Amino acid sequence: MKIQTVEPIEVAAPADELSSPWSSTVILVKVTTSTGAVGWGEAPTTLMTHPVRESVREVARFYEGQSLDDHVACLRRYEIYSFYRSRSMEATSALSSVDIACHDLVGRELGAPISRLVGRPIRDRVRAYSNGWYSDCIAPEEFAEKARAMVRAGFRALKFDPFGDQYRVLSAEGLAAAVARVGAVREAVGDSVDLLIEYHGRFLPEPAIRAGRALDEFHPAFMEEPVLPELCDALAEFRRSVKTPVALGERLLTAADFESFLSRGLVDILQPDITNSGGFTYGREIAGVATARGAPVAYHNAFGPVQTAATLQMDATLPTFFLQESFEASWPDWKRSLVRGYSIEGGEFPIPSKPGLGIEVDERAVDRYRSEIIDPIGPEPPWVIAGTWVRRSPAGSGRQGTEKSLQPRA
């Protein structure tokens, strides 16, 4: 069985359906063999949709015409040619998507879920935390109301970014607002629900530490990416100064990166992203690092349904599994329509046991939402949950007046 074609497909929200920037595009990768069998992968977007899509075409040249049985050899050959791979999110994301699709094909051919190919399942369901639930929340009571709704839906862990439009520095007013939001959520959901604080890697070291100390009192399960990624060495001081564990990993691309952060004492909880850190082939190496170090793993999972399905297959085998990120409760309808085969029930994912990824992609839906659009810009950065950086209008579009500037603060 030969790999015949590798096709990147951009799908996007229809014009009449409101989507937050983080949920408005998906890159799927369809790998078709000489027998007509199809496997699916996914790559991340976040203001790099077109560069990643074009990188998939570069990766495809190393796979097309080769035996499916030799797909790992194709990956290793790409390593030699891709000079900047270990530091290029576009290159590793493209490679990840094709690797995921090839594993999907092999699993289907063998009649086994991918979890049986990359290890051995040790669990059949995983606990999830909800993300994306706090759209249009600025006031503390708005965060509290939506947090209660997520708990009613069965989630016992919630992640959110309480910092509004603060960037690099953190004003006294900005910190007070963050404390009020986190305090309101803690009071609303009680002590039995884990709170996870998302910094989005936005602060200089001093304000990050100041925020961490102030939020320690609410006993979060972790604080994610508290400092700007280019200043990651400051995480050592953050960990000495703040009681809450540090989580990160969505911007790390190789097993060596994860080992380096662990060995230098910069992180407690690892958050690899299977769609940008080498798919299943490198994913096994990263899992090995986590196991050897006893590091808890909470996979980053912020894009689309093929990513979720792939991540669940890794979760099934991880000795140090901690939590699984889920945006599913906050997805727009168009994204829900792309895939069948997995679900989230009472805050937990049952892990699909059918062959490959265990899912079926609805190709009619994929064709319906095919797109060539460029990632939208503004009024909020694409990594922001809509309506938390600036207040949106009641209809969910535009801004109410000009109450906040979009320029980063000095």
Cβ neighbours of 327 (radius 10 Å): 23
**Which of these is catalytic: 50, 71, 103, 300?**
300
Q: With a cut of 50, say whether residue 395 has pLDDT above it.
A: no
d(CA 387, CA 164): 9
Question: 376 or 186: which carries more pLDDT confidence?
Answer: 186
Q: What is the rounded average pLDDT for all residues in the chain?
A: 94
Q: With 0-12 CB in 10 A as exposed, 13-18 as middle and 19+ as buried, what is 230?
A: exposed
Pick the CATH number of 119-355 from 3.40.50.300, 3.40.640.10, 3.20.20.120, 1.10.3720.10: 3.20.20.120
Contact 31, 12 (CB under 8 A): no
- Looking at per-residue pLDDT, the higher value among 212 and 401 belongs to 212
Q: For 118-174, write each residue's pLDDT tens digit.
A: 999 999 999 999 999 999 999 999 999 999 999 999 999 999 999 999 999 999 999
Does residue 49 carry a pLDDT above 70? yes
- Residue 403 is predicted with a pLDDT of 34
Note whether 361 and 374 are within 8 A (CB).
Answer: no
- Give the pLDDT band of residue 394 (cuts 50, 70, 90): low
Q: Parse the chain into domains and list their residue ranges.
A: 3-115, 119-355
Which structure tokens are listed for 309? Answer: 């399905």
Task: Please state the pTM of the whole predicted model.
Answer: 0.95
pLDDT at 399: 31
CA proximity to 34, closest of 69, 77, 67: 67
Two structure tokens written together for 31: 């790998």
Residue 206: the pLDDT is: 98
**Mean local confidence (pLDDT), 16-21:** 77
Per-residue pLDDT tens digits for 73-91: 999 999 999 999 999 999 9
Tell whether the torsion through CA atoms of 148, 386, 159 and 50 is positive or negative.
positive
E runs forming strands in 227-331: 246-248, 269-270, 324-326
Amino acid at 3: I
Q: Per residue in 309-354, pLDDT tens?
A: 999 999 999 999 999 999 999 999 999 999 999 999 999 999 999 9
Whether 219 is catalytic: no
Report residue 190's pLDDT band, with 50, 70 and 90 as the boundaries.
very high
Following DSSP, what letter does each residue of 346-398 receive, concatenated?
Answer: TTEEEPP-SSBTS-EE-HHHHHHTB--PPPP--SS-TTSPTTSSSPBPTTSSS
Higher pLDDT, 398 or 149: 149
Residue 400 has pLDDT above 80, yes or no: no
Q: Please determine, for residue 284, whether its predicted confidence score (pLDDT) is greater than 60.
A: yes
| Residues 202, 164 contacting (CB under 8 angstroms) | no
Q: Which candidate, 111, 181, 108, places its Cα nearest to that of 147? A: 181
pLDDT confidence of residue 393: 66
Task: Classify domain 3-115 by CATH architecture.
Answer: 2-Layer Sandwich (3.30)
* Look-up of token digits 């996979």: 299
CA distance 383 to 386: 9
Task: Give the least confident one: 22-26, 143-147, 182-186.
Answer: 22-26
